[in-house]
Amino acid sequence: MTAQGVEGPGAVAARITGRTVRGERRVSGAVSEVALDDGRSVIVKRADEPGAVRAEAAGLRWLADARAVPVPNVLGQDGRWLVTDLVRQGRASARAAEAFGRELAALHAAGAPAFGAPPPGGPVEAYIGMAPMGNHPGADWPRWYADHRVLPYLRAAADRGTVRPAETAVVERVCERLPELAGPAEPPARLHGDLWNGNVLWGADGHAWLIDPAAHGGHRETDLAMLELFGCPHLETVLDGYRDVAPLADGWRERIGLHQLFPLLVHAVLFGRGYAEQALAAARAALAR
């Protein structure tokens, strides 16, 4: 317990693993690394909302069930706390990137019951980063993507004044045209859902590992577009490995901005006008196709 009587990361790790704690260090505001007496180290993460912990734990287990891209093992969860194995980090390499692409294709191919389907045991009202995210299943990707991934964040950004009233029509027009812009229909893929570079750890074992998912059933191009949006080491090699296993439909590069609308609007809600301008640019480019 801390001086205020609130349980800290070390006490949480000891309680959930049943081991004695030998040391701990803070990695970030909500994340700590805790060393145990059996030689292991674990990650202890605290969330403000219990639903966020449930969603992340269920997402990690669902991704692990695909036996594709490695993810940390969930050791336990309790209220606002999540404890997982620690991934020892190394360096990105072209070899690991090609393998990651192949493994990501296998993860997507593991599928989902529907677009928007939550992981088994995960809450319908989940999170992407610090933003609420509803996992409401739908059968039609263009309609589902508009209703549950683009428009809610557009409205939230407009309510905050981050997107100006006259600008909302640009994104709304993209949503209206999604059936013609979305490309060939695809089955629901098993998505990581928040696949920016910071959630890809290049392990000391030579593999890429996935952490911090916002997992749900979605379109596989959305994960790939997020890797493109925030940068990923050896990205073209990742994509080559992916396409060796699962070729992408013609025109996929032209659809990258369409799939980036969702994370850009989430970031506009959380972090402000700069991301709103990027989202509007992506929307205008999609309409110009």
- Report, as residue numbers or ranges, the catalytic residues: 194
Distance CA 131, CA 270 (A): 7
| Helix or strand run (H / E) with residue 267 | helix 256-271
Please say whether the beta carbons of 215 and 193 come within 8 A. Answer: yes
Please say whether the beta carbons of 181 and 255 come within 8 A. Answer: yes
b/e sequence 206-218, b meaning 16+ C-beta within 10 Å: ebbbbbbbbbbbb
Distance CA 234, CA 18 (A): 40
Structure tokens at 9: 């990361």
What region, left, alpha or beta, does residue 35 occupy, with left being phi > 0 and alpha being psi -120 to 50 degrees?
Answer: beta
Other Cβ atoms closer than 10 A to 135: 23
